[in-house]
Structure 1
Amino acid sequence: MTKILIVDDEQVERDGLQLILERNFSDIVIRQAKNGRLATEIVTEFQPDLVFMDIQMPGMTGLEAIEAIKPTNPHIKFIMATAFATFDYARLAMQLGVVDYIVKPAKASEIVEIVRKVLSEIEAEKRLLNKSKHQENTLQKAKSLFETDLVTQLIFDHVHDVQLEELVELLDMEAPKEKFVMNVLLPLGSEAYYTTIREKLRQTKSGWVGALYGRQLPIIVFLKSDQSFRDQAASLAKEILAISESYQNSSWFIGIGNVYSSLHQIRQSYQESLIATRDTTIPVKYRFYDDVPPLVPGFDESTSKKNEQQFFNYIRNGQWDEIGKSFVEMIDTLEQESTHLLQAQQRVMELVWIASQVLSEMGVGQDIPFYSLQATDYRQLRAETHHLLSKIQQSYEEYHAELEADSIQLMKKYIIENAHKDISLEMIGKEVGLSPIYISKIFKEQLGINYIHFLTECRIEKAKKLMRDPEKSLKEITFEVGYHDPNYFSKVFRKMCNITPTEYRKQLLG
């Protein structure tokens, strides 16, 4: 319904105009005001699309009323209706953005013609506004998908240099140089919590939120210049944990990695944040990596933690011989240090837990393995540990054996067919039955590029084909290939082709 407000100090004028409008137009709602001051009050509540404004009225003139209304309601169209058709009035009305001018007494046909033209403009603007809102909503949805994918690829080192710059630019969030990772452990089935945490980070623009993998939610946090790392991390951790209290759930835990200056070092901070969650029984439900004691006594701390990082890589790459050696070396060291057997078994179990968590991220579904009994000596500890590792390795190999030999081809086919849509690692994962992290991993390993680079190539190739049609504008092509911003499309095209879309099209069409 189009809302119309008629402002005139003469009742007969208001009623006569309303009668003409109601006879000639449907889907309209009309209100009246007898002076300019009352009109300014009604506008706030009624929010009209079109206002008929008399000029000469007691108290506040029509021009003064428009001047008061326009700043906070720029969308409203004004038609002046007055018996004083002077140049000065017309000039002032034009300066205030009045769209048309009716001189009293006016013919009904003249009024209808002017109103029909203005209503047509209002409808066109509404369609444009709705389209713009739709595009903005779609863009925000796309940004959310890219944000989770960016975090996924950064923390698993599957990102491509060219795409990294594009993704950061697309997110339209200025990221400071120094960053760190927080890993939030949530209860299973925590989609509602995830949405709340994500919204909080988005409102404060304090970081990028990754995808929820099992219980783990990684967050890349931007270090503030006016706050120390530990103060900022502890404060944010407490804010996130406060959300758990509102849900009356106390099983949350947060691990916090160290600060790094390069996006390529985020993976290191993530691994540290995961290690920091290996003991969730401490009273304070968050822990810094630097506060975590090394698993193996006898080594200096830096050597021990370096070994833990290397262990991550062995698990992700399926290097089971190296994994086995890591456990053997650990148990040997514990025995040489005369570590109490119960404590030694606990330390080894923590390393088993890390292996289980890493595989869980990759989509290898399994229950966390436990020792079936308390070892009575180190020989039995070695045997039991070997048995646990064999079970983990079996889960890993069964998972990979179930994968289709043509998984890459299925993924490529899905991306090619849906390149014009907003797709993400999670969507591809659901389509082919693989974990998002594993998809990112095998894309990088087998094709040498990440999936976003491949997606970009598909879109650019389609854009090149569409540019052969001179009837299609570059803006139309932008949306048709899956982008939401012509400027961003132009930048991507130039990076991929070393030429702007306009220049390419000129060459193409000769």
Structure 2
Amino acid sequence: MIKVLIVDDEQTEREGLELILTRHFENLEIQQAKNGRIALERASTYKPNLIFMDIQMPGLSGIEAIQELQQRDCHAKIILVTAYATFEYAKQAMKLGVHDYIVKPSKISEIVKTVENVLDVIKEEQVQEQKQQHTLQAAMSVFETDVVTQLLFDHVHEVHLNQLVDLLHIPLSEDKFVMSLLIPEGGSLAYSKIKEAVRASGSGWVGALNGRHVPIIVFRDSRKSYRHQSMSLAQEILSISANQEHQWFIGIGDVYKPIEKIKHSYQESLMATRDFQQSRKYQYYGDLPTLTLDVSSQSYKAYEEQFYGSIRNRNWTELLAHVQDSIDDLERNSVTMMVAQKQIAEMLWLISSILADMGVSVELPIFSVQVTSYKQLRNETAFMLERMQEAHYEHSQQTEGDMIEQIKNYVIDHAHQDLSLERISKEVALSPIYISKLFKEKLGVNYITFLTDCRLEKAKKLMRDSEKSMKEISIEVGYHDPNYFSKVFKKSYHMSPTEYRKKNVIR
């Protein structure tokens, strides 16, 4: 269906033109406006594809209305209806972006021919728009994955948070929680199916695959209870596992409202995956027994800061001594072996999660057997810590040197493509999470902001050339949708691309 708006101060002219259109063309939806001011109001809500604009109207003239429509980024084709047929007047009309014009009075055959030509252009553009929308959806899926990764791993500066969530239309006031899907080694082939299942639910976003974990931010559906919604989605995801269902497991975090708190739900969802060998293949964090290292307590944060500092400084001797001291305290207090093993397992899990946040790929710290003595507990713990230390050392060796410069140059050279953290990670053999962290720590900006800046700087250079259209420029710098490009540009520079070009064009 093509939407048409007829603007003329004479009712007989409007009705006559509408009659011609309805008799000679199908699939047209037609509305009328009796002056330029009403036309502007109607165009903002009706979103016409084609506008017939009379030139001589009381109040706001047709020329003034067209100029105002341009300022509002109206993309409708315009056919000017005029009594003037001079070359100079036609030239002026074309400068305003008018596609064609009809001279009053005109033969019906001339009107039909003019409209046919414009409708053919509109239909072709609609076909191209559908193709672009398909491409845009794929690009936004990449963008979504990167935003989820940065939000969950706290790699987004507060100053950029609102910009990121606005671009993806995240409802900041809505309750949300995180589900962590644990898949077996080699299960990455199912990743695209997982994304499709979550997208089909209409309520979640999927982050990058991190080792064996797939993080999913889920927005609360007010029509369902938290348990009903999460359980339904968990069962839908688990149905993908086919014959590997016993190796899949989902941890579900608590609900939080502020999006900057969503990382807490992520930590909880990871904790809920620790006992993944149980018969039920999903676990709510809220149903777990009280943990020694509670996420919301000061003691947990103190442990986290101390462990992070030791790992960051590569002081594994200090870290091992701290854990061994904890085992000594448990033994002095005659804590049972089952409880002691559980508390040390929580410490090991916390250390592994810190390493994962740093981009280090580590195996889940799971005791292979139920320990029967403190000597065995010390040996098993030391063995797992040594494995983590080795993984950290190998990761550090890979990331030494001018890695951030290599990544920066790669982003700059490929910014016009659908570039994701996952794609970069394959290029430089680092995890997406660690790359995201590098941007924040080394450059002071998050990855998405850096990529956006690269694209917009190239766009500004192309606009100053003044030869290519805005649509061509938006596609060339990596935006498949000109409207989306315009929105991003205006948010960064407080003016539309058209306004920027007018101020900076080289004549």
TM-score (norm 1): 0.69
Q: Does 1:292 align with 2:288?
A: yes
| Residues 376-425 of structure 1 deviation map (CA, whole Å, 9 limit, x = unaligned) | 64356335533432331132022111224111011110111111111000
- SS at the partner of 1:250? helix
Q: Show the 5 A alignment for 1:435-474.
A: 435-474=431-470
Residues 238/387 of structure 1: CA separation in 2 closer, same or farther (3 Å cut): closer
Q: Rg: which structure is higher?
A: 1
Counterpart secondary structure, 1:254: strand
**Partner residue of 1:494 out of 449, 467, 490:** 490
**Residues 260 and 269, structure 1, Cα contact 8 Å, conserved in 2:** yes
Shift of 1:120: 7.9
Match for residue 125 of structure 2?
A: 128
Instruction: Give the counterpart of 2:22 among 83, 95, 102.
Output: 95
Q: More deviation in 496-505 or 411-420?
A: 496-505
The letter of the residue matching 1:150 is: V
Alignment of 1:374-389 (within 5 A): 377-378=373-374, 381-382=377-378, 384-389=380-385
Aligned counterpart, 1:178: 175
Q: Which moved more, 1:159-168 or 1:432-441?
A: 159-168
Alignment partner of 1:476 out of 472, 476, 488? 472
Closer/same/farther in 2, CA of residues 229 and 335 from structure 1, 3 Å limit = farther
Relative to structure 2, which stretch is displaced further, 370-379 or 389-398? 370-379
Q: 1-side partners of 2:296 and 2:500: how far apart?
A: 57
Specify the code of the residue in structure 2 equivalent to 1:339: V
Kept after mapping to 1: 8 A contact 2:238/2:245: no
Contact map agreement 2:203 2:218 (CA 8 A) in 1: yes
Deviation at 1:306, TM superposition (A): 5.3
**Residues 176 and 241 (structure 1 numbering): CA distance in 2 closer, same or farther, change over 3 Å?**
farther
Are positions 1:253 and 2:249 aligned together?
A: yes
Q: Which residue of 1 aligns with 2:323?
A: 327
User: Which letter does structure 2 place at the counterpart of 1:273?
Assistant: S
Question: Over aligned residues, Cα RMSD in angstroms?
Answer: 3.7
Residues 98 and 382 (structure 1 numbering): CA distance in 2 closer, same or farther, change over 3 Å? closer
Change (3 A) 1:216 1:118: same
Q: Deviation of residue 124 (structure 1)?
A: 5.2
**Structure 1 residue aligned with 2:264:** 268
> In 2, Cα distance between the equivalents of 1:446 and 1:223?
35
- Once the two structures are TM-superposed, the CA of residue 178 in structure 1 deviates from its matched residue by 1.3
Gaps spanning 5+ residues in structure 1: where? 1-70, 76-87, 100-114
Kept in 2: contact 1:176–1:223 (CA 8 A): no
- Aligned in 2, Cα 1:461/1:211: closer, same or farther, shift over 3 Å? same
SS in 2 for 1:467: helix
Q: From the superposition, tell whether residues 373 and 122 of structure 1 become closer, same or farther in structure 2 (CA, over 3 Å).
A: closer
Q: Secondary structure at the match of 1:468?
A: helix
Match of 1:139 in 2: 136
Distance (Å, rounded) in 2 between the aligned partners of 1:316 and 1:236: 36
SS at match of 2:222: coil
**1:56-455 → structure 2 map (5 Å cutoff):** 94-98=21-25, 127-161=124-158, 163-172=160-169, 174=171, 177-244=174-241, 246-247=242-243, 249-296=245-292, 302=297, 317=312, 320=315, 323-324=319-320, 327-328=323-324, 330-356=326-352, 359-360=355-356, 362-368=358-364, 377-378=373-374, 381-382=377-378, 384-455=380-451
Distance 1:389 1:89, change over 3 A: closer
Cα distance in 1 for partners of 2:467, 2:277 equals 66
Contact 1:213 1:361 in 2 (8 A): no
Residues 362 and 436, structure 1, Cα contact 8 Å, conserved in 2 = no
Distance in 2 between residues matched to 1:416 and 1:368, nearest whole Å: 36
Asked whether the 8 Å contact 2:268–2:295 carries over to 1, the reply is no
Query: CA 1:342 to 1:493, structure 2 compared with 1: closer, same or farther past 3 Å?
Result: same
**1:91/1:383 CA distance change after superposition, 3 Å:** closer
Residue range with higher mean Cα deviation, 184-193 or 442-451: 184-193
Determine the C-alpha separation between the residues in 1 that align with 2:458 and 2:296: 53
The alpha-carbon deviation at position 505 of structure 1 amounts to 2.3
Distance (whole Å) between structure 2 residues aligned to residue 293 and residue 456 of structure 1: 45
Residue type of the alignment partner of 1:95: T
Deviation of 1:199 after TM superposition, in Å, equals 1.6
Q: Aligned partners of 1:118, 1:504: CA distance in 2, in Å?
A: 33
Inter-partner Cα distance in structure 2 for 1:210 and 1:168: 15
More off after superposition, 341-350 vs 144-153: 341-350
Distance apart, 1:280 and its partner CA: 1.3
Q: Is the 8 A contact 2:295 2:301 kept in 1?
A: no
User: Larger deviation: 200-209 or 404-413?
Assistant: 200-209
Contact kept in structure 1, 2:144 and 2:205, CA below 8 Å: yes
Helix, strand or coil for the counterpart of 1:270? Answer: helix
The whole-number CA distance in structure 2 between the counterparts of 1:143 and 1:209 is 12
Q: Which amino acid aligns with 1:237?
A: A
Would the alpha carbon gap of residues 117 and 503 (structure 1) be closer, same or farther in structure 2, given more than 3 Å must change? closer
- The answer to whether the 8 Å contact 1:296/1:347 transfers is yes
Deviation at 1:479, TM superposition (A): 1.7
From the superposition, tell whether residues 168 and 315 of structure 1 become closer, same or farther in structure 2 (CA, over 3 Å). Answer: farther
Residues 391 and 93 (structure 1), Cα distance of their counterparts in 2 relative to 1, 3 Å cut? same
Distance 2:498 2:19 in 1: 42
In structure 1, the residue matched to 2:56 is: none
Distance 1:469 1:301, change over 3 A: closer
Structure 2 CA distance, aligned partners of 1:141 and 1:339? 54
Residue 346 of structure 1 deviates from its aligned partner by 4.8
1:328 and 1:219 map into 2 onto residues whose CA distance is 35
Greater shift in the superposed pair: 479-488 or 316-325:
316-325
Q: AA paired with 2:442?
A: Q
Alpha-carbon distance between aligned partners in 2 of 1:89 and 1:368, rounded to the nearest angstrom: 75
1: CA distance, partners of 2:123 / 2:498:
30
Aligned-partner residue type, residue 504 of structure 2:
L
Q: Which runs of 5+ in 2 are unaligned?
A: 4-14, 27-111
Instruction: Provide the TM-score with structure 2 as the length reference.
Output: 0.70
